[in-house]
Structure 1
Amino acid sequence: MNLPTSFPASSSSAATSPDTASSQPRKTTKETHPHLPPGLILDENGKVCKVCNSWADISKIKKKGPNAGEESQGKKTLAGMGGFASMLNASQSSQSSQSSPSSSSSSSSTTTRSIPVSTATDEEGSTDRTNCPPDNAALGRSTWTFLHTTAAYYPLQANERQQTQMTNLLESLSIFYPCNWCATDFRRDIKKNPPISAVAGRESLMKWLCARHNEVNQKLGKEEFSCEVKNLDARWKDGPEDGSCD
C-alpha cells in the first residue's frame, strides 16, 4: 500500500489519532539530526522507523557519510503498501513478487538453539535478510500480495456479514499498518474512495484494490497494472495461460 502506499506503528501507532497524524512522514535533516543521514523517515516518537525505510536507507546510519540518504528522499517516502505500505519505495513494480533465498539457521555451542539470524550473502553479494524484520518494501509487497489474493478468493456475491467483515479488515489495516504515515495515507484514500460497493463481490473488490495499488504505482512512476478481471485472475489466482506457474 501507499499501504497506502501503499496500504500507525503496531501498538504505539494505534494510539495516534487518524485526524492528527501527518500525511507526510517526518524525516531526519542535517539540522535536526546531525548524527544521522538526512532523509530517514521517523516514527511518531521521533525515532528512526525501520519498517518505514528501506534496508539501503537504514544501512546508511552505519556509514554516516556526509551525503548519505540525500539521493533517496523523494520516491522512498512512497514505498510501501505503501503504501499499503510505502504503503510505499514499496517495490511494487507491476505487482511482481519475488522470493528471497533461504538461509540456514544457526545454533549456539550449548544445547539451546538461538533464533535464526542470517548474515549470508547471495550470489550478487547482497545480504540475505530472510530472517530479518521487514523493511518498507518487504512489508508493502507482502501486504499487497495478501490483499490481492484474498480478493481473488472472495465470494462472487458476498452476503451482508462477509461485506461487513471485509470492510472491517480494510479499515483495520488503515489503522494498524506498522508504517504510521502509510496508514494515514491509506485512511485518506479509502475515505476518498470508500469500498462500500466494492465489497459486494469478488470482481468489484479485485478491481477496487487494483485501482488503489495503481495509485501507488502512479506516485512511484511505475507502470500500472491492468485491472481487467482476467488479468487479475491470472496474476493472483489461476496463473498465466502458458502454464508457467503450474
Structure 2
Amino acid sequence: MAVEGQQAARANTSADPKNLPPGVVLGKDGKPCRACSSKMAFSAFVSQQTKPNQKSSGAIPGMMAGMMAAGGAAAAATNKPAPAAIPSRNDCPPDVEELGRSTWMLLHSIAATYPSAPSTNEQTDLRSFMGAFSRLYPCWSCAEHFQKYMAKQQMPVSSRDEFGKWLCEAHNAVNRKLGKQVFDCARWEERWRDGWKDGRCD
C-alpha cells in the first residue's frame, strides 16, 4: 500500500458511508477502521482516496522508478543485492480476518491450557481477562457483538471442559453470522489441545 494512500486514509476524518467500498467499516471516530475491515476492502478505500492525487503528481511514480533503477544499477556495480522495493505483506497491520483468526487461535489455546479444576484465583483471572478482552478488542463492532454474547451466554469458568465448549459455541455463533461452517464442539479438545486422532499433528 502506498504511503500516500495510508496518509489519505488517516486524513479522512469524515468518510461518507455511501462512498465506501463494500466491506469497509467506519470506526467510532468516523474514519475507516482497518481492524474492522477486510484487507481488500481497505485497500480499495485507500486506492479510491489516492486516485485524485495521482493525477496531480504524475512525476512521482516515474521519479521513484528511476531511483529504484539507479539503486539496482548501483547494487549491480558493487555486487550487492538491491533493497527490496515491496515489503512483505506479513509486516502490515492485520485486517479483520487475520485479526479474527489469530484471536480465535489464542483464545482456544488459552481454553486448552486452562486447568480442569481451576483455583478461585484462576477463575477470577479468566473472568477478568475475558472482560478486558471484550472491551479492548481492536475491531469495535466485533467487540460489541462479543460483549452482547457474553451478556446473554454466561461464561463458565469452573472447568476447562465447560469453558472450552462455551468458547467453541461463541466461535460458532460468529461463524453462523458470517455464513461460515460451524465446528463440532464435542471435538474442541481434539482440535485445540490433544491433536487429531489420526496423528496428523504428531
Please, what TM-score do these two structures have when normalized by structure 2? Answer: 0.71
Same amino acid, percent of matched pairs: 41
CA 1:189–1:118 in structure 2 vs 1: closer, same or farther (change >3 Å)? farther
- SS of the residue 2:197 aligns to: coil
Task: Provide the rounded CA distance (Å) in 2 between the counterparts of 1:176 and 1:155.
Answer: 25
User: Residue 215 of structure 1 aligns with which residue?
Assistant: 173
Q: Please give the residue correspondences for 1:38-77 in structure 2 after superposition, counting only pairs within 5 Å.
A: 40-64=24-48
Q: AA paired with 1:137?
A: E
- Give per-residue Cα distances to partners, 1:56-105, cap 9 Å, x unaligned: 1011124439xxxxxxxxxxxxxxxxxxxxxxxxxxxxxxxxxxxxxxxx
Q: Which residue of 2 aligns with 1:236?
A: 192
Deviation at 1:131, TM superposition (A): 1.1
What residue in structure 2 maps to residue 205 of structure 1? 163
Q: 2:138 aligns with which of 178, 185, 190?
A: 178
SS at match of 1:64: helix
What do the CA deviations read for 1:181-211 (whole angstroms, capped 9, x no partner)?
211111111011121xx10010000000011
1:189 — aligned with what? Answer: 149
TM-score with structure 1 setting the length: 0.58
Per-residue deviation, 1:28 = 4.5
- CA separation in 2, counterparts of 1:57 and 1:48? 10
Q: 1:118 touches 1:130 (CA, 8 Å); kept in 2?
A: no
Rounded to whole Å, the distance in 2 between the matches of 1:165 and 1:202 is 14
Q: Is the 8 A contact 2:114 2:160 kept in 1?
A: yes
Shift of 1:39: 5.0
Distance 1:118 1:158 in 2: 51
| Unaligned ranges ≥5, structure 2 | 1-14, 50-74, 76-83
CA contact under 8 A between 2:24 and 2:38: conserved in structure 1? no
Measured in 1, the distance between the counterparts of 2:183 and 2:190 equals: 12
Number of residue pairs the alignment of both structures matches: 156
Match of 1:140 in 2: 100
CA distance, structure 2, for counterparts of residue 38 and residue 214 of structure 1: 24
Q: Report how far residue 38 of structure 1 moved.
A: 5.4
Q: 164, 183, 186: which is aligned to 2:124?
A: 164
The C-alpha deviation readout for 1:203-237, integer Å capped at 9, x for no partner, is 00000001111111111122210111xx2122111
